[in-house]
Structures are given as C-alpha cells and as structure tokens.
Structure 1
Amino acid sequence: MKTAQEEALEIAQILEDSKADDVSVIDVSELNSWTDFFVIATVHSSAHWQGLAKQIKDYVKENEMEIHVTHNKAVSGDDWNLIDIGPVVVHLMSADAREFYELEKLWHNGKKLR
C-alpha cells in the first residue's frame, strides 16, 4: 500500500507529464487535521483541467482510492478546481487564480516537497 506522500508525488508527476505548469506538492500534515498533502498545478484551459481531472480520477480508481469531494470556485468552473482524495487534495488552478489565491504563500509553513 502506498503512503499519502507517494500518492501525492505520483499525482504531481501525472499532472506534470500532462503539461500542467508549476506543479507543487506541499506537506500540510502538521498544519491541519483534514488532509496531509496539497498538490497544486496551473492549467491552461477548461479542456486541459477536464483532461487532468479524468487522469486523476483514473489514478484514484486504479489505486482503489476514493474521491470525497470535487469543487469548482468560479461561475465558469475553470478558475479553481479542487479534488479531495482524503489525505491528498489536488488544486487545478488557472494562472490568474493561482496568482490571486497564493496557496503556497498561505501554507508557507508546510514542507514543500516539489
């Protein structure tokens, strides 16, 4: 069985291989009780995030994991998409949303793994 860190790093690699930009993994396990890792990536378009989301869902299914929640933060649904896999939360963000919300800055006390 894989650790949450291994899962987070594998998801990050999937995103990077699929042309997501500036993929980060942050260990937030010491900072909150609801997740252990954030995977944050910049996407280029609605079609791009939909393709990435499908790849993540396929990974989750192959690894017998479960998606708890998916959420879009924008009327159009393509600014910030969150996929909660329990110990790993994936943030697929437009460049504008990523710059505005600055999650890495907000969670700066977490350990950046990549």
Structure 2
Amino acid sequence: MAEKTSKEQALELAQLLEDGKADDVTVIEVTKLTSCADFFVIATIHSSAHWQGLAKQIKDYVKANDMQIHLTHTKTAGGDDWNVIDIGSVLVHLMSADARNFYELEKLWHAGNFIKGSQSENA
C-alpha cells in the first residue's frame, strides 16, 4: 500500500473532524510559507468534551495509518480554547469559536493555498 501524501492526510483529517461535528473545517497548504508543516487543518470545537472526543479520533487515525503525533499543545488553563496536534507535515488546530475569532489563523496565513474552507473558492 502506498504511503499517503500530506494533502491526503490533511483532507482525511478534515473529513474526520467534520464527521465529528466540528464546525468551519479549513485546510490550508502552507508548504511555501513555513517549514513547520505542509498543511494546517483548522476546526471549531464546542467544548472540552468535544475536543477530547476529536483528539481520540485523531489519535486512532494516526495509529491506523502508522503515523505518530509529535506534540500536542493546549493554550489556556481550561484546555478547550486552542489545541494543536502536530502530526509532522500536518498541524491540526482545534479551537473554540472565541479563540478562532481572536487569532484569525486564516487571515494570518492568507497567503497559503486554501484547499478546503471558506476561502478556498478565492484561492
């Protein structure tokens, strides 16, 4: 079986998040903008329990695809505002609506190639 590309992984993770009821799932190719990842997957979550459920699904996906999580990071004491899961070439950002509106990652990375999400029609 051929190894999946970073883009295939990002799109599959985006679908997993949508299936898990995350909102406004966006995939941005950032290959030409940073060396930290090839793709960002950004999604809005609704609660700490929602984040925990999605994080478990992501971990299951990673394990099933013989990948590994390099790092997870939470920004806020409650753990439900902004969670980053580093899967190497894909960074998954799970954010509360408030954090997403405040940090505006899509605007920050506007020069990226929007593969999926609200700006993908304009890319």
Same-fold call, TM cutoff 0.5: yes
| Counterpart selection for 1:49 from 36, 48, 51 | 51
Q: Counterparts of 1:13 and 1:99 in 2: how far apart (Å)?
A: 22
What percent identity do the matched residue pairs reach? Answer: 72
Residue identity matched to 2:34: N
Match of residue 15 from structure 2: 13
**Which residue in the other structure is 2:121 paired with?**
none
Q: Counterpart of 2:23 in structure 1: which amino acid?
A: D
The alignment partner of 1:61 has SS state of helix
SS of the residue corresponding to residue 113 of structure 1 reads strand
For the aligned residues, what is the CA RMSD? 0.4
Letter paired with 1:32: T
Which runs of no fewer than 5 residues in structure 1 stay unpaired?
none
Report the AA paired with residue 11 of structure 2. Answer: L
SS in 2 for 1:14: helix
Partner of 1:90: 92
Mapped to 2, the partners of 1:96 and 1:41 lie a distance apart of 12
Runs of 4+ in 1 over 6 A off after TM superposition: none
Instruction: Give the 3-state SS of the residue equivalent to 2:69 in structure 1.
Output: coil
Equivalent pairs, count:
114
Aligned-pair distance for 1:34? 1.5
Which of 54, 60, 63 does residue 61 from structure 1 map onto? 63
| Deviation by residue 1:58-106 (Cα, 9 ceiling, x = unmatched) | 0000000010000000011110000000000000000000000000000
TM-score by length of 1: 0.99
Report the Cα distance in structure 1 between the residues aligned to 2:34 and 2:42, rounded to whole angstroms.
17
TM-score of the pair, normalised by structure 2: 0.92
